[in-house]
Amino acid sequence: MNFKGKKILMFYPYGITKHYGYYIQKELESRGAIVYAFDERPSQSSMTKIIIRLMKKKLPQIFISYLKKVIGQVDTDSIDYLIVLRGEAFTPMSLTYLRKKLPKAYFILYLWDILKATNVSECFNYFDKVLSFDEEDAKSHFGVHFRPTFFLPIFETISLQKGTKYDISYVATMDRVRYPILCSIKNNIYNDCKLNMHLYVVSKILYYRNKFISFGKFGKQIKPQYNALNLSQIAELTKQSRCVLDISYPDQVGLSMRVYEALAAHRKYITTNEYVKKCDFYCPENILVINRDNPYIPQEFVESKYVEIPKEILQKYSLKQWVDDVFYQTDSKI
């Protein structure tokens, strides 16, 4: 899909997952687009996140004021596309404002979190196209398209490199839902398993709150990290690992980027998400689904050989194909 001369206003998360939005922006620019990129929130401060999550409907002017600053930096009459990734801060009021300011733009919303986490379903009618990474969310909302996430090109280069340092690696934010499962895995894994877990603390306030609630157990078995890994570090850890571990939330059906990164890197994937068994790339030699309550990882799975999957299947989950699918226009609105 050619974007030569097209002008795109883009909102994406500027937090620890900023690299995903950044590489989408670069892919669009490589095809000739002029992209104006901004954070999906007015700020990454903990206070701003709390206000947006709990009070965005009661205090809509906070986000409207931010959008006015954004609009002041672009030529609104020439914007061809507006794309919002995640979009937790957006409300019907803010989108009504943007519709007036961007009269010719095609509005796209892509959700890479479950709806329960973002609470943006009331905004769907303001977009020309809405897509979700979660098939159940897409099925339960008329007009929402299902489109899985993607892997970045850096992970394909890993597949050409040999040698590993770890048997299993895990990278994610530290929270009360996944932490007990990780502790159970650590305590019951087979002897001599080289396990690397990087649990990043997003908020020290929440960390110590959880520690207090758990009577000091939270963060005791697995040491918390206060520095998030950047893309290069995540790719390097993936390269050094035989298997990538991923713990999904109980209500989540959609697969995270981790599975596609593992596929691109020719690494095995271990998950609690049963949905992966329905996917066209599923192969029991490469992918292990574990029970949340009693997670068991056989040594033979970790140490057995990776089975190649067809290249045409892998490329369906590339960033290039994701851009083509997301920006493909249909005539009908939601």
Q: At what angle do helices 92-101 and 60-71 cross, to 10 degrees?
A: 20
Task: Measure the CA–CA gap between 27 and 195, rounded to whole angstroms.
Answer: 34
pLDDT at 331: 45
How do residues 272-329 score in pLDDT, each as one tens digit? 999 999 999 999 999 999 999 999 999 999 999 999 999 999 999 999 999 999 999 7
Task: Identify the band that residue 56 occupies on the pLDDT scale cut at 50, 70 and 90.
Answer: low
Which stretch of DSSP H or E encloses residue 53? Answer: helix 46-55
Quote the mean pLDDT of the chain: 91
In this predicted structure, the answer to whether residue 83 has a pLDDT above a threshold of 50 is: yes
Closest among 203, 192, 168, 163 to 182, alpha carbons compared: 168
How do residues 124-177 score in pLDDT, each as one tens digit? 999 999 999 999 999 999 999 999 999 999 999 987 667 789 999 999 998 888
Give the mean model confidence (pLDDT) for residues 3-32.
96
Q: Report the chain's C-alpha Rg in angstroms.
A: 21
pLDDT at 236: 96
In this predicted structure, the answer to whether residue 71 has a pLDDT above a threshold of 50 is: yes
Catalogue all structural domains in the chain, each as residue range(s) with its CATH number. 7-150+318-327 (3.40.50.2000), 154-316 (3.40.50)
Task: Identify the band that residue 213 occupies on the pLDDT scale cut at 50, 70 and 90.
Answer: low
